[in-house]
Amino acid sequence: MPFTIAIDGPAASGKGTIARALAREFGFPHLDTGLLYRAVGAIGGDPTTAARSLTPDDLLRPGLRTAEAGQAASRVAAIPEVRGALIEFQRRFSRQEPGAILDGRDIGTVICPGAELKLYVIADDQTRAARRAAELGADPAAMLAELRERDARDAARDTAPLRAAPDAVILDTTAMSIEQAVAAAAAMVRERLNNPAS
């Protein structure tokens, strides 16, 4: 039976880094679901049409990791028809053998509510802004304002708002190094793999 790991949280909390590291350690395929929305935003035109015709190759488009692509993703992600068009893509990915890791904002609440492990990764606003500014070579103050705007939009949308699933394990990475955050998450995965009923 597939073992699905759902990792959610706001931008720059560390969820993507943790997801990629867990995929390497446990040999599970990984899907950064934010790339789906970034690709839809980058394709342009009607977002719903773009979402319905999305292919894996679209996830390889250049520029999907920029701040502009992130803002475009947040805007199109608020469109219910776009989210609906991408749900099945994600659910099929999540149930492959031996398992899969998906990270995003609504994996544990909407896409994979039955995931064997749900993590909700958080960090304080200042830490997240500093991380993202360093990653993009941007101004930390401007990045803080941008992250707060995006958080508010993601949390307030009617369809699949950003929030932790009731049974998610909260992982606060504010004071953690990357290695510490990955080690904490990996320990949770091993515990759940060894004790499926826990």
pLDDT per residue over 161-198, tens digit each?
889 999 999 999 999 999 999 999 999 999 999 987 66
Please identify every stretch of the chain with a pLDDT value under 50, giving residue numbers as ranges.
none
**Considering the domain boundaries, does residue 47 fall inside one?**
yes
Domain that holds residue 136: 3-193
The reported pLDDT for the residue numbered 167 is 97
Binding-site residues from annotation: 9-17
**Considering the domain boundaries, does residue 120 fall inside one?**
yes
**Considering the domain boundaries, does residue 168 fall inside one?**
yes
**Considering the domain boundaries, does residue 169 fall inside one?**
yes
The reported pLDDT for the residue numbered 28 is 96
**Considering the domain boundaries, does residue 198 fall inside one?**
no
**Considering the domain boundaries, does residue 63 fall inside one?**
yes
Binding-site residues from annotation for ATP: 9-17
The reported pLDDT for the residue numbered 55 is 87
Distance in angstroms (rounded) separating the CA atoms of residues 161 and 152: 10
Q: What is the CATH number of the domain that holds 123?
A: 3.40.50.300
Distance in angstroms (rounded) separating the CA atoms of residues 64 and 54: 14
The reported pLDDT for the residue numbered 198 is 61
Structurally, the chain folds into a number of domains equal to 1
Cβ-proximal residues to 188 (8 Å cutoff; 6+ apart), any chain:
117, 119, 169, 171
Question: pLDDT for 15-26, tens place per residue?
Answer: 999 999 999 999
Class of residue 193 by CB neighbours under 10 A (exposed 0-12, middle 13-18, buried 19+): middle
